[in-house]
Chains A and B, each alone.
Chain A
Amino acid sequence: MSDYIYLFRTTAEARRAAMGTPEIAQQSMQRWLAWMRDLETKGHLKNRGQPLENEGKLVRGKSKVITDGPFAEVKDLVAGFMIVQARDISQAAELAKGCPILEGDGAVEVRPVMAMNF
């Protein structure tokens, strides 16, 4: 078993849409809880990650310009991360198919965590 990081990417708009009405918010929450519960019972969930605030700053380029978030206009917002354990990358990708972020406009980026043996 190796470690894989899931990077959740979405848009600010899709993120709000997932919480659009109380009923939709409830469904989104239940989907997330169910998906994570499933990963956990099957022994794949290694680290639930940390919640991220919406606000932030972006430091860019040689001139080191600092711009303000929130990144409302950004098409590809990093919404959070999580670490899973899987046999190989194809299993890790397969497991990501259950992620509720895909119901909106989002994506899960699956990246192997480099094994540092030496």
Chain B
Amino acid sequence: MPNARRGVPWSHVQLDEHLFRRESARMVAALTRIFGVHNLSLAEDVVQDAFCRALEVWKVRGVPDNPSAWLMATAKNRALDVIRRERTAATFAPEVSRLFESEWTLAPIVDEAFATEIIRDEQLRMMFSCCDPRLKEEVQIALVLNILCGFGAQEIAGAFLAGRAAVEKRIARGKQSLATSQRLFDLTDDDVASRLPVVQRALYLLFNEGYHSAAADSVVRTELCREAIRLTELLAGDARTGTPSTHALAALMSLHAARLPGRLDGAGDLSALVDQDRSTWDTALIAHGIALLEQSARGSEISVYHLEAAIAAAHVQAPSVARTDWRTIVELYDRLMGLAPSPVVALNRAIAVAQHAGADPGIDALERIAGAERLAAYPFYRAAFGELELRRGQRDAARSHFEAAVHLARNATERRHFEKRMQSCDSE
């Protein structure tokens, strides 16, 4: 029996846990360059074929030393088959289809599409195409997750606490719109500057969904954050899209993600910043975030991302809650309120005010939040009142706020957290 791996202990073969998701996104990028974006589903079929083939072959011969190269080569061969079979009938990408007519140019063109830097470029173009302002934000994000991160409808639904059917509809609607465009967004166009904020916003929401998601599964959440960071770094690494605000966005994500291990304590409970074990924070990621923040200061532009990144930097650079520069944080929140006022920003500002000036001014700031009715269902709004009432010794008031937060909790982790806070009103 031909077995290339005979003698190699099977148990040593480890598969990277996100291999297929990551490679799917890269293969789709290369294949849409060849087939054209209107043939996206054909590209996805080829990817699925490559996976089926991998299963059959790897079962017998073992996982290849470079599984990613194996999958790419398989997808490439399959693409050549498809083109040879259908080149007279189908229309492929307008930029390259003329070159498919001759065998002399066909193979080099297909090879080129799978080159690392071309894939990177295609992923950027795809990102811009997915973030079409005519599509709803939720559709843009579902598309990015599906095409650029390789998540299926079920997994996206799980992360967003949405129904699978609803997510499938979003993806289908988005793909329909993609299919009608003959080509991907062109990064040499003048509209890069006007489309860039839409892309940044989608990535920002994607990251937030991972960071604050009400979905309890911490693995999914970490993956969403990781993907948002990966795509933002892709954006930052390109001269055409790596603007100061892109760097600020990347900085903000790194500085928040550095705290992700500390956000879920041993029991999987949400730790308030106060209780977080700062030794669990990722110091390499913090350094990376600070470097990005410095890069973002090159221009004169001050975006929302700059301010949010600066706030995150003030938090991670402080040795403790008590020794945090709360005055600066309050000032940054004031500027943020000037640029992009929202009840959630006002809530965070009020918490900073309380840290800087005490519980009374904090409660005062909470009570003066404009549009606070929009926070009515947000458990952390009531919890903030609870914390400050507790701090000024009003245990009964504090307890009833935490109780309200328990009822508003969106998952078991949040509920446990607020219940614990409620109990602390009796024990302290």
Residue pair A26, B15 in contact (C-beta under 8 Å): yes
Residue pair B1, A37 in contact (C-beta under 8 Å): no
**CB-CB under 8 A for A21 and B11, given A29-B20, A32-B55, A33-B63:** no
B154 within 8 A of partner (CB): yes
**CB-CB under 8 A for A21 and B155, given A16-B48, A26-B15:** yes
Give B55's nearest chain A residue, CB to CB: A29
- Residues of chain B within 8 A of A19, CB atoms compared: 48, 51-52, 55
- Residues of chain B within 8 A of A50, CB atoms compared: 1, 60
**CB-CB under 8 A for A21 and B150, given A49-B60, A50-B60:** yes
- Residues of chain A within 8 A of B18, CB atoms compared: 26
Give B2's nearest chain A residue, CB to CB: A50
**CB-CB under 8 A for A47 and B1, given A21-B151, A21-B154, A29-B15:** yes
Interface residues of B in 18-62 (CB under 8 A from A): 18-21, 23-24, 48, 51-61
A7 within 8 A of partner (CB): no
Give A48's nearest chain B residue, CB to CB: B60
A85 within 8 A of partner (CB): no
Q: Give chain B's interface residue range (CB within 8 Å of chain A).
A: 20 to 34
A91 to chain B, nearest CB (A): 21
A73 within 8 A of partner (CB): no
Residue pair B52, A48 in contact (C-beta under 8 Å): no
Residue pair B55, A30 in contact (C-beta under 8 Å): no
B189 within 8 A of partner (CB): no
Binary interface profile of A, 22-51, with partner B (CB < 8 Å = 1, else 0)?
Answer: 111110111011001100110000011111
**CB-CB under 8 A for A37 and B56, given A22-B152, A26-B19:** no
A34 to chain B, nearest CB (A): 10
Residue pair A24, B152 in contact (C-beta under 8 Å): yes
Chain A interface, number of residues (Cβ within 8 angstroms): 28
Residue pair B59, A51 in contact (C-beta under 8 Å): yes
**CB-CB under 8 A for A33 and B58, given A16-B48, A40-B10, A48-B3:** yes
Set B1, B54, B61: member contacting A29, Cβ < 8 A: B54
Give B56's nearest chain A residue, CB to CB: A51
Interface residues of B in 320-357 (CB under 8 A from A): none
Residue pair A37, B15 in contact (C-beta under 8 Å): no
Residue pair B13, A22 in contact (C-beta under 8 Å): no
B295 to chain A, nearest CB (A): 33
A interface, CB within 8 angstroms of B: 15-16, 18-26, 28-30, 32-33, 36-37, 40-41, 47-52, 54, 80
**A-B interface, 9 closest residue pairs, ranked by CB to CB distance from nearest:** A21-B152, A51-B56, A22-B20, A22-B24, A22-B150, A22-B21, A26-B20, A25-B51, A19-B51
Chain A to chain B contacts (Cβ below 8 Å), 14 pairs? A18-B55, A19-B51, A21-B154, A22-B152, A23-B155, A25-B48, A26-B20, A29-B20, A29-B58, A33-B63, A37-B10, A47-B1, A50-B1, A80-B59
